[in-house]
A and B are shown apart, each in its own frame.
Chain A
């Protein structure tokens, strides 16, 4: 895999389109998107449902490949990668945070955080220490043996963030990370995510809540598969 220098953008999209075929009908989810995301940047992606923001997330998350155009993550052109390379890219470069946390219900917090490391090249001896370290980072050092059922929603989302951080990713992709949480907890989670940007991790959040989007320095609005506007605050 190519390793890009730190001067190139982490993600660059050039004329990216995505078309789904549903029956006999073609759905144009993305109609030519040009975007770059710099390292350490925190971005909120907004837009009504069907605007193409989820499609973009799937592409940036290397879960899917574009129909046309070039999408590069860390200098790797997704269109030229095989499924196993995409899996490795997700494992090494990207951390996912979901609205519903997606934790393994029967496993402890520690086991959940260990999961991505098990699929990585991390030596088995180092896995436990790294997982514990990530739980400390999100403030759950004393809850490692708890199962998701024994944790509050905010704590569960912290475990999910620890899991996303385990592989030392360059990119955190959060899909409605506060959608299932109350206001106070949401603020805590957003503060945690904002802190990651300060550590040089690129954070991209998909949300429809303006309060959440306000945490991000950059906000991109989508409509009908295209960028409606791309604004930066404070600059």
Chain B
């Protein structure tokens, strides 16, 4: 095939009938634009889920006490014996445990000068900052000695720093949390909203011992209680296996006999988010499918116009054959014409797609992700459509008998 003449003839034909070319492209444009917008939207949703998962810190398994079982009566969530410092020490020896966080949660009022504020109070051990992948943006995080000896120190979240100190440095300031005076040693990096809508920077983090002994108060039966454990799993270690082994270990620690139910629960929060996002993914696939259908409809439009074009130009085809065009040359010419329609339509359509995605993200307030890859896939899809729907008309042209074609009127 002589590509030059095929391409040139195709371009001349497209230019010669601009209105028709544009209307035919319109179908492709709309198809490509919708494919592109849908891909950008579902990709954006997927990115958001990934971001939420990574914001949870490393690969963490959360352990909470379950319900107690006494004489067939269920004690409700959290009713079982709490975990203790010994549980933490024990779990640190597990092969998959990168860090084991002990935490007790509470709420309280913080007062600094004239301002007071209700907030979350976390009593933690040093591993907390590892498992949350959380560092101080000013000052420092709590050190091991402060935690072990129960010093009256605190690190505060960004929201607290802004609310209580409003611009001026919080470092070294005295605050009162539930009437216990504490010294601020650090302000934590901003984490933003959590996955469930709460403000993760609205928090005061203090040594777990301080929390137990002074700020939040102890447990009636277990002085060294721990309400939450978070186990960070060593990278590369299989999460499911780690979760199984952790459950197994906890059964031994808590002396649960075979056949009895666990009195604790182990969650992998990433799993919750993934489960929730799978609905979104299904929806995204459905949308992309609908968009693909519109692209195919555009392709049928191209085929239709190409068939008209072949019929209209039968004499021209006959002439080209008479003066020496091989049938591949004719095939190429009409294939290029269909490809040209789809490629130009695809490029304009992908620009419209970017616009549509941006608009959707503004109006619908959901994240979109427009990447060169998506544009390439959309334009590639339209080129495939051009090849597929252009081939039949082009083959029809290439198979014309030159004698009959020359006689056509």
Residues of A within 8 A of B (CB): 58, 61, 63-64, 83-84, 87-88, 90-92, 95-96, 98, 102, 104, 106-107, 115-116, 118-120, 124, 163, 167
> Contacting B324 at CB < 8 Å: which of A90, A106, A107?
A90
Cα–Cα, bound, A58→B405 (Å):
13
| Contact present for A63 and B322 (CB under 8 Å) | yes
Chain B residues with Cβ below 8 Å from A87 are: 321, 324-327
Listed from nearest, the 6 A-B pairs whose CB atoms lie closest are A91-B324, A118-B5, A116-B323, A119-B324, A87-B326, A102-B319
Given the contacts A102-B315, A106-B16, A120 and B406 also touching, CB distance less than 8 Å: no
Cα–Cα, bound, A124→B326 (Å):
18
Given the contacts A58-B403, A63-B403, A115 and B322 also touching, CB distance less than 8 Å: no
Given the contacts A102-B315, A106-B12, A90 and B326 also touching, CB distance less than 8 Å: no
Which residue, of A92, A98, A102, A107, has the highest number of chain B Cβ atoms within 10 A?
Answer: A102
Given the contacts A119-B2, A119-B329, A90 and B316 also touching, CB distance less than 8 Å: no
| Contact present for B327 and A163 (CB under 8 Å) | no
Interface residues of B in 279-338 (CB under 8 A from A): 315-316, 318-329
CB distance from B403 to the nearest CB of A (A): 5
Chain B residues with Cβ below 8 Å from A91 are: 323-324
A98's closest neighbor in chain B, by CB? B406
CB distance from A21 to the nearest CB of B (A): 14
A-B contact list, 26 entries, CB within 8 Å: A63-B402, A64-B403, A87-B324, A87-B325, A87-B327, A88-B326, A90-B322, A90-B324, A91-B323, A91-B324, A96-B323, A98-B319, A102-B316, A102-B318, A104-B319, A106-B16, A115-B320, A116-B324, A118-B4, A118-B5, A118-B8, A119-B329, A120-B324, A163-B323, A167-B323, A167-B324
| Contact present for A83 and B327 (CB under 8 Å) | yes
Majority secondary structure of chain B interface residues (helix, strand, loop or mixed)? helix
Q: Mark B204-240, 1 if CB is under 8 A from A, else 0.
A: 0000000000000000000000000000000000000
Cα–Cα, bound, A53→B327 (Å):
26
Cα–Cα, bound, A200→B36 (Å):
63
Cα–Cα, bound, A102→B4 (Å):
22
Cα–Cα, bound, A115→B326 (Å):
13
Cα–Cα, bound, A160→B329 (Å):
21
Q: Mark B3-41, 1 if CB is under 8 A from A, else 0.
A: 011001000100010000000000000000000000000
Chain B residues touching A, range: 20 to 34
Chain A residues with Cβ below 8 Å from B321 are: 63, 87, 90
CB distance from B77 to the nearest CB of A (A): 80
Chain A residues with Cβ below 8 Å from B320 are: 115, 119
CB distance from A116 to the nearest CB of B (A): 4
A121's closest neighbor in chain B, by CB? B2
Given the contacts A64-B403, A119-B2, A83 and B326 also touching, CB distance less than 8 Å: yes
Chain B residues with Cβ below 8 Å from A92 are: 324
Chain A residues with Cβ below 8 Å from B322 are: 61, 63, 90, 96
CB distance from B339 to the nearest CB of A (A): 19
Which residue, of A90, A118, A167, has the highest number of chain B Cβ atoms within 10 A?
Answer: A118
Cα–Cα, bound, A119→B316 (Å):
14
Chain A residues with Cβ below 8 Å from B318 are: 102
Chain B residues with Cβ below 8 Å from A118 are: 2, 4-5, 8
Chain A residues with Cβ below 8 Å from B327 are: 83-84, 87
Chain B residues with Cβ below 8 Å from A115 are: 320, 323
Cα–Cα, bound, A64→B406 (Å):
13
CB distance from B186 to the nearest CB of A (A): 74
CB distance from A216 to the nearest CB of B (A): 22
Chain B residues with Cβ below 8 Å from A104 are: 316, 319
| Contact present for B402 and A119 (CB under 8 Å) | no
CB distance from B394 to the nearest CB of A (A): 16
Cα–Cα, bound, A84→B403 (Å):
16
B6's closest neighbor in chain A, by CB? A118
Interface residues of B in 358-393 (CB under 8 A from A): none
Chain B residues with Cβ below 8 Å from A61 are: 322
Chain B residues with Cβ below 8 Å from A96 are: 319, 322-323
> Contacting A88 at CB < 8 Å: which of B5, B324, B328?
B324
Q: A58-B403, A92-B324 are in contact. List 16 more A-B contacts (CB 8 A).
A: A63-B321, A63-B403, A64-B403, A88-B326, A90-B321, A90-B324, A91-B324, A95-B323, A96-B322, A96-B323, A102-B316, A102-B406, A118-B8, A119-B325, A163-B323, A167-B323
CB distance from A67 to the nearest CB of B (A): 15
Which residue, of B16, B319, B320, B323, has the highest number of chain A Cβ atoms within 10 A?
Answer: B323
CB distance from A74 to the nearest CB of B (A): 15
CB distance from A156 to the nearest CB of B (A): 13
Chain B residues with Cβ below 8 Å from A106 are: 12, 16
Chain A residues with Cβ below 8 Å from B326 are: 83-84, 87-88, 119
CB distance from B252 to the nearest CB of A (A): 82
CB distance from B82 to the nearest CB of A (A): 86
Cα–Cα, bound, A90→B16 (Å):
28
| Contact present for B323 and A90 (CB under 8 Å) | yes
B328's closest neighbor in chain A, by CB? A84
Cα–Cα, bound, A8→B325 (Å):
28
Cα–Cα, bound, A180→B324 (Å):
25
